[in-house]
Structure 1
Amino acid sequence: MTSTIWWTIAGATVVTALIKGFGPVVMGGRQLSPRINGVITLMAPALLAALVVTSILADGDRLHVGADFVGVVAGGALMIWTRAGVLTAVLVAAGVTAAIRFFG
């Protein structure tokens, strides 16, 4: 069992190295088109949003809307509507989550 885990880790390491090296070898110093650069630029925020949504909605093996979800929505809404800073939004999200857990 232990050797299977280590072989899986080693295989994942090799595949990751190959994937990371594939782009520079294939592109060879050429410039990407503006459209592809735009897609690459949007990938990081999209991945971050997917990770945040998954982490605040995941509850074991099912999706669950709880206090943490409401807090994140409140902090995000504050940022969108008032253009508040990230620190303010995080504090609002933590405060709303704490209040819901305390009173609910």
Structure 2
Amino acid sequence: MWTAVLLACVGCYLLKLAGMSVPARVLDHPLVERVADLIPVALLAALVAVQVFAAGPGLTVDARAAGLAFAFVALLLRAPFLVVVIGAAAVAAGLRLL
């Protein structure tokens, strides 16, 4: 087990070193900048999808999906962040209570 942990540490270090070794002219390319700006959004969306629709090895639609739908609509209406989070939690909790 410790071998896997140490290999993962070395791999992470080498990946970080490779990222820091990229020349500045490559990083200043407009396409690279655009992709770098969109990667965090894509990763966050993937994490949200997994947390909302995954239940063990399968997919499920339950109160979490309704909370996500509320959050989506609230964001479209430009509601404040706290309203979005508390509202989504309240919708999901209310449906679970029923």
Give me the TM-score of the superposition, normalised by structure 2: 0.91
Q: What are the residue-to-residue correspondences of 1:50-89 with 2, within 5 Å?
A: 50-80=46-76, 82-89=77-84
Count, aligned residues:
97
**In 1, Cα distance between equivalents of 2:14 and 2:21:** 10
Structure 2 counterpart SS, 1:100: helix
Larger mean CA deviation between 5-14 and 68-77 belongs to 68-77
Residues 1-52 of structure 1, C-alpha deviations (whole Å, 9 max, x = no match): xxxx11111101101110111122232x434201110000000011001001
Q: Residue type matched to 1:67 in 2?
A: A
CA RMSD between the two structures: 1.2
Is 1:90 matched with 2:85?
yes
Matching residue of 1:11? 7
Give me the TM-score of the superposition, normalised by structure 1: 0.86
Fraction of identical pairs, as percent = 34
User: How far is 1:88 from its partner?
Assistant: 0.6
30, 34, 40: which one aligns with 2:30: 34
User: How far is 1:85 from its partner?
Assistant: 1.5
**In 2, Cα distance between equivalents of 1:17 and 1:86:** 35
**In 1, Cα distance between equivalents of 2:28 and 2:14:** 20
* Structure 1: gaps spanning 5 or more residues: none
